[in-house]
A and B are shown apart, each in its own frame.
Chain A
Amino acid sequence: MMPTDQPWDAELARARLHVVTGKGGTGKTTVATSLALALATGGKRVLLVEVEGRQGIAQLFDIPPLPYAEEHVAAAAGEGEVRALAVDTEAAMLEYLDMFYNLGFAGRTLRRMGAIEFATTLAPGLRDVILTGKVKETVTRTEARGRHLYDHVVLDAPPTGRIVPFLDVTRALSDLAKVGPVRGHSDGVINLVHSQDTRVHLVTLLEEMPVTETLEAIRDLDAADLRPGAVILNRVRPPRLPARSISSAADGRVDKNRIRDGLSSAGLDLRLEELEGLVEETVEHAVRVDAEARARARLDGTDLPVLELPELTEGVDVAALYELAEALNAQGAGGSRVS
């Protein structure tokens, strides 16, 4: 297939900050991690960032909890590298205050007393300003020769319901002082998240609720002048029945005799109850495939590129992450693509 036909198009390839969101339970962290690996393929350096204190990345790689530092977590083909950063809000806040006030040793005391949690409680927007500020710093950081340290930054972001307030620092700022250090700091974040460099990818399953939330998130992103990137369908299972039999099978119309005869011709002679069990499984499968087709049709209306990742029945281990990364490579994300 020519690269131009691939869902991961030139627009997406140009982005450097990839924000990955999705409804809870859709596999956001797995997809963000696979995307980071895919983008690192072919010798790129990619930073994978998590901001919710869940240590989801460490769990995926089956390593001890990540410290607040950029750590090597995986190598990618062609000497690519993925580093990971679990942002600790309190540490980031102290780091941030330290840029303007010399807190030194007192910082640790403040932290122990819960002062930081208190401050972020007073102004919920503050937490997001600090977190997005840290992400922006990693995206814009350069090496001695002026080259960006990271080719891409992938952010395992808050879920769809919270993504717009999280990124829309402008709104958060209305909570906060209109002047002072936080202002100049935030302007940089605002410029970055609204620019060509940033795309918000939406992970969903082919189920009613996650698709509804995805559509709502796309609408909200558009309204806030943030740029939706790709829709990534996660855990897609292969349809087994021919498309024309789906809707009748979903209504419970399955030709039991034909199945029985077909099985006999393969040397399988099943008892009646076994056959009925198979028929029941077939109906359930058809109902699900039917619902998936409807979910897909709803997403078609968005005009966004759609990528797919297969269901891995064996569960997700490190090897599986590479498999998913390859699947993304095959759809144009990262790898040897010529831009």
Chain B
Amino acid sequence: MDIDRLIDDRDTKVIVCCGSGGVGKTTTAAAIAVRAAERGRKTVVLTIDPARRLAQALGLAELGNHPRPVQIEGFDPKGELAAMMLDMRRTFDDMVLAHATKERADEILANPFYQTISANFSGTQEYMAMEKLGQLAHTGQWDLIVVDTPPSRSALDFLDAPQRLSTVLDGRVLKLLAGPARAGGSGLRKIVAGGFGIFAKAVSTIIGGQLLTDASTFVQAFDSIFGGFRERAKKTYELLRSPGTAFLVVATPEPDALREATFFVERLATERMPLAGLVVNRTHPLLTELAQPRAIAAAEHLEELGRAPLAAAVLRLHADRAALAHKEERLLARFAKAHPGIATIGVPALAGDVHDLDGLREIGLRLVGV
């Protein structure tokens, strides 16, 4: 896979970086965006939860929920770069405001149940990331959108969350709680109605009748605008499936991260979403060819003689690195065998953290193999 070809191709409109938490998705997304802007694309990068110093580097010290041009000394791209950090609550609010009358919107926004799900529901962040992507695409202001995905427990949450949230919001269960008699076919109804009466009672005992009432009011108010929500989620989903989109699955050379990458790769295939390739961050390739057994033998020899301690230490650290490099190669070879035909880029680890423009440029160079 050639990242430069991908970002230079004017037909590439959206790049989505996905993968499990802690693999460096945000850094990858930011590095690609910087490189694309410097190569002439009008780029916007949507980050979800950047580390503080990286956010500062991009001029994202505070949440804005709208893209702002990145202005850093020494950064004068041929194209353009704007960046934003997702404010999930505000994105949700904006969505409600866009779809409901003023009065209805106020009613929804003030509802305690809305406040709970807009801040706490585990899928809200994923849903809002997709919504924001849809909005950015809709403006037509940028010709390349680079998206980071939320640090979910599972990489798949990004694709599943809108559906899960929809299930809650469309209120079927809630209607059941309120009036079980209307639900289901006649055979099922009897059983369910019996159970549900108890369940509703149990639930309201545990979570409190007030919360249940709030939820019920919310769902009624929400019902009228729900169609609009679903329509948008569908459009964004279609955007993700279109040929202008490229998914980069990001991982590290660790079993857990590669397992998540496997799930994601398979899922993308099922959904027929365009996978560009796998980016493996923080690899440790050998910088010299000296074979590990030879290094160890020589180190032992020097240690026995009590001579040249610096050279012996250097041989030892090289042997450690060789062991690590071999393990990483084995893991990646296994992945490649199980998923033939998936282009893979290894990005050698930087010695320190990435928290400024130079760091992002360096990652960009490593992404293209320089």
A residues near B (Cβ < 8 Å) are 23-25, 52, 54, 59, 97, 100-103, 105-107, 109-110, 113-115, 117-119, 121-124, 126, 175-177, 180-182, 208-209, 237-238, 240-242, 245, 255, 258-259, 261-263, 265-268, 270, 273-285, 287-288, 291, 313-316
**Contact between A100 and B202, CB atoms less than 8 A apart:** yes
What is the number of residues of chain B that contact chain A, defined by CB distance less than 8 Å? Answer: 72
- With a CB–CB cut-off of 8 A, which chain B residues contact A282? 314, 317
Name B312-333 residues within 8 Å CB distance of A.
312-318, 320-321, 323-324, 327, 331
Residue on B nearest A250 in the bound complex, by CB: B351
Residue on A nearest B303 in the bound complex, by CB: A266
- Whole-angstrom distance between the alpha carbons of A238 and B319 in the complex? 12
- Whole-angstrom distance between the alpha carbons of A123 and B202 in the complex? 13
Name B276-323 residues within 8 Å CB distance of A.
286-290, 294, 298-299, 301-302, 307-318, 320-321, 323
**Contact between B287 and A177, CB atoms less than 8 A apart:** no
Residue on B nearest A238 in the bound complex, by CB: B320
**Contact between B307 and A314, CB atoms less than 8 A apart:** no
Tell me the smallest distance from the CB of A282 to a CB of chain B, in Å. Answer: 5
**Contact between B320 and A240, CB atoms less than 8 A apart:** yes
- With a CB–CB cut-off of 8 A, which chain A residues contact B320? 237-238, 240, 313
Per DSSP, are chain A's interface residues mostly helix, strand or loop, or mixed? Answer: helix
B103 at the interface (CB under 8 A from A): no
- Whole-angstrom distance between the alpha carbons of A182 and B88 in the complex? 31
- With a CB–CB cut-off of 8 A, which chain A residues contact B311? 258-259, 261-263, 265-266
B57 at the interface (CB under 8 A from A): no
- Whole-angstrom distance between the alpha carbons of A263 and B309 in the complex? 10
- The listed residue (B23, B207, B331) touching A122 by CB distance below 8 A is B207
- With a CB–CB cut-off of 8 A, which chain B residues contact A24? 20-22, 151
Count chain B CB atoms within 10 A of each CB in A107, A263, A277, A315 and give the residue with the most: A263
Interface-located stretch among B39-47, B61-69, B190-198: B190-198
A-B contact pairs, 16 of them (CB 8 A): A101-B198, A109-B191, A114-B167, A119-B206, A119-B207, A121-B168, A122-B116, A122-B212, A175-B211, A240-B313, A240-B314, A242-B309, A259-B310, A262-B302, A267-B298, A280-B287
**Contact between A23 and B313, CB atoms less than 8 A apart:** no
Tell me the smallest distance from the CB of B354 to a CB of chain A, in Å. Answer: 11
B352 at the interface (CB under 8 A from A): yes
